[in-house]
Amino acid sequence: MRATKIAISLMAALWVGTAAAQTVKIGLINTYSGPMASNGDQIQKSIDLFMKLNESKLPKGVKLEFIKRDDTGINPETAKRLAQELIVREKVDLITGVVWTPNAAAIAPLTAEAKVPFIIMNAGTAMLTTLSPYIARTSFTLWQSSYPMGEWAAKRYKTAYVAVSDFGPGHDAQDAFNKSFKSGGGTVVGNVRMPPPTSDFAPYLQRVKDAKPDALFVFVPAGKSATALMKGFGELGLGQAGIKLIGPGDITTDEELPNMGDVPLGVVTMFHYSAAGDRPANKTFVAEWQKAYGAKSWPNFISVGAWDAMQAIFDVVTQQKGKLNADKTMAILKGWKNPSSPRGPISIDPETRDIIQNEYVREVRRVGGNLANVELETIKAVKDPWKEINNKK
């Protein structure tokens, strides 16, 4: 008798609970293990911090439930299976996360088929957004940084060597830099593609040293690969040989600068985010990050991609009061804006669903005892040049 009463009151409590709460289910595909897990850590820390500071701003009774899945690194088959499970079994309202281009490309067709919005927090190959009308991206494209980098470099250097990781973002960085550096009058004396993930760059860097270019343009993925690249560049003495290292900001990623010794000093990169940016929104972001994770912990562009995706998700959820409709969600994302992201003003291009943002010319300098990507020049409101040049939507 007593047991029945307890059971009935428990059921009542549960019923009241469900009636009052509107839970939005978010499938989060991220890299939590394996040699590239530091990039996934940036995403997770950013989501946790955003939730801690903003959860109370959600409409009353609305909750976000993150269903986390580990893709373990560049692993398209795994990513596809995880997305399938999240869509079919978990019936998620949207998918987000995804550090790696090959994984995002494998997930994309499923989002189109099932009409599930997919907000890319990192993967940066230009064509990804063209693979499904249900994709929007809050991160960047490699064309956005590498194309203006080539224009900048052509005004300063006669010759350049181009070395990139042999997968989507590397190919984009290579194509973009080659195109703008050559049209600016520069000569590319060599191109090499290196397998990802690589930690031994010596054989490639030796070839570059022998070719004696004025500049070496490199893309390798942020995180430990970037630190390994910098170590190789220092050990082989390319800097002393007069070769200037340049690239997209992935190679001087903020959280790894403390692990790179003095080699990055003077390296110039083009990028949309620096932890050293002096915008008030960035000062607050970095201060909150260090309060949560310690004074030696630095957010990077991957955390900012996740941070801004979270703001977009909050806006989508708030405007629909927690009951998400896929087409309504995409309509809100098209043209979504944040005038004061830590990286500066950003918006989602309604035509391409890709991000429009500033690019900054940065140089690694010592600031208050730490190495920092100091922003020197701003190129405002850059759209993905690959889509602009090729008229892609």
Which residues in this chain contact ligand PHB in the complex, by CB under 6 A? 99-101, 123-125, 168-169, 221-222, 250
Smallest separation, CB 366 to ligand PHB (Å): 24
What gap in Å lies between CA 321 and CA 314, rounded to an integer? 10
Smallest separation, CB 222 to ligand PHB (Å): 4
Q: Which is nearer to ligand PHB, 143 or 157 (CB)?
A: 143
Q: Which is nearer to ligand PHB, 301 or 314 (CB)?
A: 301
> One-letter amino acid identity for 64?
L
Residue 3 three-state SS: helix
Smallest separation, CB 124 to ligand PHB (Å): 4
Smallest separation, CB 99 to ligand PHB (Å): 6
Q: Which is nearer to ligand PHB, 117 or 124 (CB)?
A: 124
Both tokens of 108, joined, read 């994309």
Q: Which is nearer to ligand PHB, 124 or 342 (CB)?
A: 124
58: Cα within 13 Å, side-chain hemisphere:
24
Bond preceding residue 385 cis, omega within 30 of 0: no
Smallest separation, CB 225 to ligand PHB (Å): 8
Helix (H) or strand (E) holding 309: helix 301-319
Rg of the chain taking only CA atoms, in angstroms:
22
Smallest separation, CB 221 to ligand PHB (Å): 4
What gap in Å lies between CA 136 and CA 116, rounded to an integer? 11
Both tokens of 362, joined, read 């940065």
Helix (H) or strand (E) holding 356: strand 355-367
Beta strands 370-382; 355-367: pairing state = antiparallel
Q: Which is nearer to ligand PHB, 214 or 255 (CB)?
A: 255
Smallest separation, CB 42 to ligand PHB (Å): 10
CA angle (293 as vertex; 289, 294 as ends), nearest 5 = 100
Q: Which is nearer to ligand PHB, 314 or 386 (CB)?
A: 386
Q: Which is nearer to ligand PHB, 22 or 129 (CB)?
A: 129
Helix ranges, 212-300 (H): 224-235, 280-293
Closest CA to 121 of 6, 198, 230, 40: 40
Smallest separation, CB 259 to ligand PHB (Å): 16
Both tokens of 74, joined, read 């560049």
- For residue 60, the 8-state DSSP code is T
Smallest separation, CB 102 to ligand PHB (Å): 7
> One-letter amino acid identity for 341?
S
Q: Which is nearer to ligand PHB, 65 or 166 (CB)?
A: 166
Q: Which is nearer to ligand PHB, 123 or 208 (CB)?
A: 123
Strand spans (E) along 18-134 = 22-30, 62-70, 94-97, 118-120
Helix (H) or strand (E) holding 32: none
Q: Which is nearer to ligand PHB, 100 or 386 (CB)?
A: 100
Smallest separation, CB 258 to ligand PHB (Å): 18
CA distances from 351 to 85, 106, 393 (A): 30, 23, 6
Torsion of CA 303, 309, 314, 320, to 10 degrees: -170
